[in-house]
Amino acid sequence: IQELLRVMRTIDDRIVHELNTTIPTASFVGKVDPGQTCKELYQSLMDAHTNRERIIKNCISQTSAVVKTLKEEREKAPEDAALLKQLRKEQTKLKLMQSELNVEEVVNDRSWKVLS
């Protein structure tokens, strides 16, 4: 999932470049509509942010459900070492996904500040 998010964050990583290539120089002002181009860039950024947040929240939801199930199983079999190992693994994955949500917020804020 982290690799997918990294690829999906390309638009945010390249926002300055996108702005520089989107807004026409004086010689191209008549050939390109800067308002429309900026509007398209804004919409692309909005879509990217929405999609990434949806993916992260979906992963959190799914992992939370797995953790809950494993905790219930753990209560029934407290001596099961393999079950404990799996529970810890899923809890770590859940924490990672929750931290990705925080990273997403920082990335989004940075992009909107550049775009403003």
C-alpha distance from residue 76 to each of 21, 55, 97, 102, 106 (Å): 60, 32, 27, 34, 41
Instruction: State residue 99's pLDDT score.
Output: 93
**pLDDT per residue of the chain (116 residues) written in tens, 0 to 9:** 778 888 888 888 777 777 777 666 666 556 667 677 778 888 988 999 999 999 999 999 999 999 999 999 999 999 999 999 999 999 999 999 999 999 999 989 988 888 77
- Tell whether 11 is covered by a domain: no
Structure pTM? 0.78
Which position has the token pair 């770590």?
Answer: 92
- Tell whether 14 is covered by a domain: no
Name, in order, each residue with C-beta under 8 angstroms of 110's C-beta and a sequence gap of 6 or more. 12
- Tell whether 66 is covered by a domain: yes
3-state secondary structure of 6: helix
3-state secondary structure of 14: coil
- Tell whether 31 is covered by a domain: no
Distance CA 32, CA 28 (A): 6
Q: Report the number of distinct structural domains present in the chain.
A: 1
- Tell whether 85 is covered by a domain: yes
Domain that residue 107 falls in: 39-115
- Tell whether 71 is covered by a domain: yes
Name, in order, each residue with C-beta under 8 angstroms of 7's C-beta and a sequence gap of 6 or more. none
CB 19 within 8 A of CB 3: no
Instruction: State residue 32's pLDDT score.
Output: 66
